[in-house]
Amino acid sequence: MHKIAIFGGSFDPVHKSHIQTAELAFKSFNLKKMIFVIAYTPPHKTKQYAYIEDRVSMLKLAAGNMQKTEISLHEAQKLETVYSYQTLDYFNSLYTEDEIYMVIGSDSLLDLPTWKNIDYMAGRYKFIVAKRPGFEVNKNVKYLDRCVFIDKETEDISSTEIRRLVKEDYKKAALLLDKKVYNYIIQNGLYK
């Protein structure tokens, strides 16, 4: 049985920490494949800033050199909120011989108990958890037994912060993004 990782997010924009997390997950867990799933509107967010087509283009630029990855529009094409358990069930139906994992940050681990149908989801799937600065994992966190952890801490980068910096300080924003993604944002006038 091989491991398939589902890495969902708005990727608005995709940044260095997203790619670092994906690379570390590959190295740590011998993944067969990683599927980046672009959300239309994640359940915990209310607004998107770049069109889906732009987010796909930026993700292709950022992850273009990574082997064994693909980008899925499964959620984005539905034009509505899709819950994580639904996405994992969808990919489980496509990869019936493989084990499905979901990539999350340690900040999201604390929120797992609030996720829709989390008991069902945690009973069927496992989580690859990327350690984020400032988010210590408490040993009493629910569903900890369904998690595997990336040993190395990822950079503390926020898409929200990048969007703000694009408006205020292009040079600082450039440090947090793949050069090709940064150029795409500037050339297409995103986040102004």
Per-residue pLDDT reduced to its tens digit, 59-74? 999 998 899 999 999 9
Is residue 82 over pLDDT 60?
Answer: yes
**How much is the average pLDDT of 92-118?**
93
- The arithmetic mean of pLDDT across residues 98-102, rounded, is 98
Per-residue pLDDT at 133:
78
Within-domain flag for 98: yes
Quick check: is 165 in a domain?
Answer: no
Q: Are 132 and 37 in contact (CB under 8 A)?
A: no
Domain assignment present for residue 133? The answer is: yes
Yes or no: say if 133 and 157 are a contact pair by the CB < 8 Å rule: no
CATH number at residue 37: 3.40.50.620
pLDDT at 154 over 60: yes
The shares of helix, strand and coil residues in the chain, as percent rounded to the nearest 5, are 45, 15, 40
pLDDT tens for 110-149 read 889 999 999 999 999 999 999 887 777 777 788 999 999 9
**What number is the average pLDDT over the span 44-50?**
68
Give the integer Cα–Cα distance in Å for 188 and 137. Answer: 39
Has residue 172 been placed in a domain?
no
Checking if the pLDDT of 2 tops 70, the result is yes
Residue 96 lies in a domain: yes
Name the token pair of 175. 């440090």
85 within a domain of the structure (yes/no)? yes
Residues 3-30: tens digit of each pLDDT: 999 999 999 999 999 999 999 999 999 9
pLDDT above 80 for 105: yes
User: Percent of the chain beyond pLDDT 90?
Assistant: 68
Residue 140: predicted pLDDT: 76
* Count of CB atoms situated within 10 Å of the CB of 109: 23
- Number of structural domains, the chain? 1
Q: Does the CA dihedral 77-78-80-82 come out positive or negative? A: negative
The residues, any chain, with a CB within 8 Å of residue 60's CB and separated by 6 or more, are 71
In a domain, 129, yes or no: yes
> In Å, how far from its chain's centre is CA 180?
19
Instruction: Look at residue 42 in the predicted model and tell me its pLDDT.
Output: 54
Q: Looking at the domain assignment, is residue 130 inside a domain? A: yes
How high does pLDDT run on average in the chain?
91
Structural domain span for residue 79: 3-157
| Whole-angstrom distance, CA of residue 93 vs CA of residue 108 | 25
